[in-house]
Structure 1
Amino acid sequence: MTERPRSIRRRRFLQGAGAGMALGALGGASAAAAHPGRAGGRGKADLLLHNGRVVTMDGGFAPAEAVAVKDGVVQAVGSDSQLRRFTNARTEVVNLRGRTVIPGVNDAHFHPMGLGTNQPPLTLDLSRDAVSSIAEIRDLVAEAARSKEPGEWIRGFGWDQGYLAEGRYPTRHDIDEVSPNHPAALREWSGHALWVNSKALEISGITRDTEAPPGGEIVKDGDGEPTGLLLEGAAGLVSVPPFTEEERRQGMRMAVDIMHRQGITSITDAGVAPEMVSLYRDLQGSGDIRQRVTVMISAGTPDLREALVGVRGIETDPAWLNVSQVKVRVDGVPTQARTAWLSEPYVGGGTGAPVLPGDSLEEQLATLHEQVMTAHELGFQVGSHATGDRAIAAALDAYQAAVAEFGGKGLRHYIIHGDLTTPEDLERMAEAGFPVSFNPQIKRSLSHQLVDVIGRERTDYQWPYRSALDLGISVGSASDAPVVGVPDFRAGLAAMLTRKSLATGEVFGADQIIGLEEALATYTTAGAWQDRAEDWKGTLAEGMAADLAVLDGDLLDTPAEDIVDIPVSMTVVGGEVVYDASNDAPAPTASPASAASGLARYMSTGCCDV
């Protein structure tokens, strides 16, 4: 057999395939073999990883030594001596030298287009890693203006007012002088605030007399003039041109590259327009990206019923492109934005409200029920963005009404975020079989800032992993990228194991700490269960999809706080090596600056639809 201890070549994703090939043939034997009920491949292995610690997540937590891959699925798992018989001269062999292999990360809530198009050169990097003051942002805008033709837009993303040296929110006056002929739109880290210059206000027709849409705010100065800061729905008044088709493709390729560097092999793209299905189909079919994607169609799509019937008719291979979910957005976030819908007031007053369409609470709740009923009737799984306890309860009410009307259908409707799910509603979820998707990386980065917003008791309780798992609820974990900057499951593991603030080291909710096996399951088996794909992905058992990540260290013996520093050295999707650190730049890790950059946006405006 051929020993390759340090690196292995990347196989071509689609050997002999041309652009425009049918998606059903995507990945050749790999995609076909990854469907439910398939046995492990016969003959000699294509790839063997040995002399390591292979954590299968297939019952028990004791690691094996080796894993063999054939035709895109796991052929066998066991000891080095047991698996040596699966090799010959054509087998790619990797000596792990004690490194850890885990099932590929299934990130249960992700915004890949937002992540990719927020990267340079498409968008200025204004994160805490890149800038520390309004003055530095002004310099970047000035540089961008010099490189663009007059009238071209300048985009930026990631600024966090909490970490700017000036200690204040920015205004249009800060950048007007350096960009008089270029409209500039700089989105805050959470996506719920937009900073623009005077040129952008002029082009968009925003004046002192412009009314903000419901739930939005045009921030004005003492003279009643717009400052250039637009909050929530008011940001939609700015007519920033969409990214071109080629820019969107470039952004998606960059996003998938980031995922592979982080060991992510499956994602749920949360809340997209139906047109994204065709884009994914084209990118996967042409070999531009190799990533398993579950698509959530936004419930806010016009003519939702017609749209769902339409996407259901698009031929896809569900092992790679699973169009089966609908995203409903019930409320905002329990941060400085104070847009989560709570039963008890925020510190300082107010309880937030739903963000659903409707002129009254009754109309908003009717919209919620209509969206859930439509999706459920058509056989689509529903995930509801609900962070406040009242929003979560309302979503569960809608789920139970749909089940009562049409039967369960095995759809596994779930709560997205679920920050402040009450113990009573956790019990209701456990009884009904409704799962939840939590956000530990956000917990790690923001807890220290929330005490002044929702109080210490609710901050400690937020994302109650221990309580949910003890009730038997299936709990997934997700990054909500690009909110967190780099989507880093290792930071999420550290958060679940310690509940410590990244910034202060203080523990928030020690009674909700869980163990490593439970935490890793939230990123692997629970994500597969959420996707209703647990019979073919999520574990490294014989016949399961060969999606895996190699960590350059011993995960099982690493102290919880140090897990975040273990590099990802290799990622395999459907049996193909898509990332090999020895042949590539090292994957970025989540530094305090990068993590807080994305989180700042969540604090001020919310998480999603970026």
Structure 2
Amino acid sequence: MTSTFNKLLLVCFAGTTLCEPLVSCAALPIADTLFVNGTIHTLDTGSTTVVDGALAITNGTITCVGTEVACKPAVGNSTKVVDLNGKAVIPGLIDTHIHPIDAGRAMLGCSLRFQQLTQDALRKVIQACLDRQPGETGLLMVTEFDREGFTTINGPGNKAMLDLLNTTRPIGIVASNQHNVFVNSKTLQLLNITRDTPDPPGGRIGRDSKGEPTGFLEENASGPVRELGGDRGISQIDASIAALAQLRQKGITTILDALQGRHDAWTKLKAQGDLTVRVFTCFGVFGSLDFPSIVAQAQDVKKTLDSGALVANAPGQIWRHVKFFTDGVLPEVSQSGFLLEPYLVDSGNGTWVPGKNFGIPNSNQSQIMEIITRTLDAGLNIHLHAVGDAAVRSVLNAAEAMNRTFRPSDIGIAHAELVAVDDRQRFGKLGIPVIASYQWAQKATYWADLNEKALGPERMSRVEAHAVLNDQGTLLAYGSDWPVDPLDPFLALSIGVNRQGDPQNRNSHASFGPQFVGRLDQLPGLSREVALRGMTTAAAKYLDSSDSIGSLEVGKFADLVVIDRDYFDEAAVPNEQLARNKVLLTMVGGRPVFTDNSTTFLPAEWVAESDRLNSNPVVKSISPGNILSRAVTGRACGSHFGHAH
């Protein structure tokens, strides 16, 4: 951080008037809570840190930041004064690309937990799920399937591997990247998919050398399986409750649900007083190119469900984004990310040469222009999935051809994992942010072996170029993509800075074995401040909410996190330990929604409220293994492949 103020009042809030410089703080409103003796990282424009600082909260809003002496006039008979014992305070974390309801269903359903499994081990997990549901006849949806790892051990997957299960039920196994599904013969029969079924637009039916369906359905071809699975027998409100428990534990106070249709789960939870995160939602229809219908539906949802202006002490739901996919994912077994040059293929003599597959584009440039234009003209914002360098260029070209000025909130490109060198400066010039998942910049199963060879060394040298894009003027906002990956923001921050995993963090690929230890490449990492701003100020800017959230300043909402060790103190937390921090307190609009059980300095009633939220029967029903941290149990070989995005 660039400046530290000790024994200095930054600002004073008196009624509706900012007082600076300060003569007297006698007019400070009486605070509900006053934190004292903390290291407060405001992340304001001056990157100010207040050592031995104080922070006052009134009606969910920050009313004083400064020294304890300066903020003392805010103390009244009802003020709760909390001594932080020197702990660090940062703004509440903002995740701008996440799938909370999918994650909740995964935690409550049948999950393979990201394990790299043999055929027998995979069937054992699924059979146990089947046996827990005697009498069920509908499709069993299984999640968090490490498809690439499974292929490494078992060779190309085939529906026959699933047909050995002791069941007559249809089975659908969703890859952890969420872009393809593995099904048994029963599912193919129900969907009437045969060797004569053509590939749908934007999708691919996997076929063996004889032309028979293998059971793998890529991209838009997987849509019918998802429809057949429905809600998996898990309601949206139960899935939401499960997800919220993890979000508040990780210090996440605002999210952007990256793909969702109309639902009333957040409405119900808010009415119960149990909505513990601010929710922005991207309305989307997976695989649809009916742009007029998509935008019309998004407008209707906004009219009926959007909460309106953000309220400090009453988190609500915002429906102001449309989601659209331009391509798929990069790994060799899928090859659905749209590339400027084709994927490489094994020539048979140990060398890899250009093949014929450029990926699976979901739309052309004119279609991208149409969906952007319709969305923006309707007063909405658009969130575009673009992974490969050709997909990214298509979006940038479309935006440039529109010849209009964009606000940072207008268009966001999610992922941009592979960007052509010539395109790196275009994001900043056009005003288009990148929503980046820092944790993908580590040595990992999804970059290893065949995946690395299919992309080749030149493309591998420019994957996940977060710091390069930032240096070229790109606004970087963070998105976890949970449940594509475990929810672990401090691991993500660590990888963003170091471009390597942490062997002592079980969510990191570095914990899988020595082949995944060390830097991914020689590209620079982010600074600690830039990385954290991606989860705070930059994320708030992308969500067009900088006036309310993202930093700890007078007049902004009291969304904050108290952490075990100071993220910015390089002596206390060296780079190799950045992924090992933990959240002690999460507060949303002045309301404590999570307290860590190890804390002794927080008020007993805050701990009791945290315990009440976590005593919900849905939360208590989650199997500890289904919290979706990466499990190493079952990983059976020294050469691993993993999930994509």
User: What is the TM-score normalised by the length of structure 1?
Assistant: 0.82
Structure 2 match to 1:556: 568
AA at the equivalent of 1:309:
Q
Structure 2 match to 1:73: 61
Structure 2 match to 1:295: 281
Change (3 A) 1:474 1:516: same
Moved more, 490-499 or 131-140: 131-140
Structure 2 match to 1:316: 307
Q: What is the CA-CA distance between 1:263 and the residue it aligns to? A: 0.8
- Residues 138-195 of structure 1 deviation map (CA, whole Å, 9 limit, x = unaligned): 2232222223214143221112144449433544444434432322222121122322
Change (3 A) 1:94 1:351: farther
* 1:176 aligns with one of 145, 156, 163: 163
SS of residue in 2 equivalent to 1:255: helix
Structure 2 match to 1:97: 85
CA contact (8 A) 2:28 2:73 kept: no
Change (3 A) 1:604 1:441: closer
SS of residue in 2 equivalent to 1:289: coil
1:347 corresponds to 2:344: yes
- Residues 324-366 of structure 1 deviation map (CA, whole Å, 9 limit, x = unaligned): 2222221222332222222233333346245325xxxxxx322
SS of residue in 2 equivalent to 1:510: coil
CA contact (8 A) 1:126 1:158 kept: yes
Equivalent runs, 1:333-412 vs 2, <5 Å: 333-336=329-332, 337-348=334-345, 349=354, 350=356, 352-353=358-359, 355-357=361-363, 364-404=364-404, 408=406, 411-412=409-410
AA at the equivalent of 2:474:
I
AA at the equivalent of 2:144:
G
Name the CA distance, whole Å, in 1 between partners of 2:317 and 2:127: 41
Change (3 A) 1:195 1:535: same
Name the CA distance, whole Å, in 2 between partners of 1:468 and 1:218: 35
Change (3 A) 1:429 1:578: same
CA contact (8 A) 2:111 2:142 kept: yes
Q: What is the CA-CA distance between 1:595 and the residue it aligns to? A: 13
Q: What is the CA-CA distance between 1:465 and the residue it aligns to? A: 2.4
Equivalent runs, 1:106-505 vs 2, <5 Å: 106-120=94-108, 123-128=109-114, 132-148=117-133, 149-164=135-150, 166-221=153-208, 225-238=212-225, 240-243=228-231, 247-273=235-261, 275-276=262-263, 278-298=264-284, 300=288, 302=290, 303-314=293-304, 315-319=306-310, 320-336=316-332, 337-348=334-345, 349=354, 350=356, 352-353=358-359, 355-357=361-363, 364-404=364-404, 408=406, 411-444=409-442, 445=444, 446-448=446-448, 450-484=451-485, 486-501=486-501, 502-503=509-510, 504-505=516-517
- Residues 427-476 of structure 1 deviation map (CA, whole Å, 9 limit, x = unaligned): 22222222211111122244445532323343232222222222332111
Equivalent runs, 1:6-17 vs 2, <5 Å: none
Q: What is the CA-CA distance between 1:280 and the residue it aligns to? A: 3.2
Name the CA distance, whole Å, in 2 between partners of 1:510 and 1:481: 27
CA contact (8 A) 2:141 2:229 kept: no
1:43 corresponds to 2:18: no
Q: What is the CA-CA distance between 1:494 and the residue it aligns to? A: 0.9
Change (3 A) 1:591 1:62: same
RMSD: 3.3
AA at the equivalent of 2:145:
W
Moved more, 524-533 or 136-145: 136-145
Q: What is the CA-CA distance between 1:525 and the residue it aligns to? A: 0.3
CA contact (8 A) 1:100 1:550 kept: yes
AA at the equivalent of 1:146:
D
Name the CA distance, whole Å, in 1 between partners of 2:238 and 2:484: 20
Moved more, 545-554 or 503-512: 503-512
- Residues 65-95 of structure 1 deviation map (CA, whole Å, 9 limit, x = unaligned): 3322221111222233433443345333433
Name the CA distance, whole Å, in 2 between partners of 1:124 and 1:288: 26
Structure 2 match to 1:520: 532
Moved more, 238-247 or 45-54: 238-247
Q: Percent identity?
A: 26
Structure with greater contact order relative to length (CA < 8 Å, sep ≥ 6): 1
Name the CA distance, whole Å, in 2 between partners of 1:37 and 1:322: 29
Q: What is the CA-CA distance between 1:322 and the residue it aligns to? A: 2.3
Name the CA distance, whole Å, in 1 between partners of 2:376 and 2:18: 29
Name the CA distance, whole Å, in 1 between partners of 2:144 and 2:232: 21
1:546 corresponds to 2:534: no
Change (3 A) 1:61 1:498: farther
Q: What is the CA-CA distance between 1:537 and the residue it aligns to? A: 0.8
Moved more, 240-249 or 100-109: 240-249
Gaps of 5+ in 2: 1-12, 20-24, 311-315, 346-353, 502-508, 511-515, 598-606, 636-640
AA at the equivalent of 1:268:
L
User: What is the TM-score normalised by the length of structure 2?
Assistant: 0.78
Moved more, 375-384 or 448-457: 448-457
SS of residue in 2 equivalent to 1:138: helix
Name the CA distance, whole Å, in 1 between partners of 2:38 and 2:408: 38
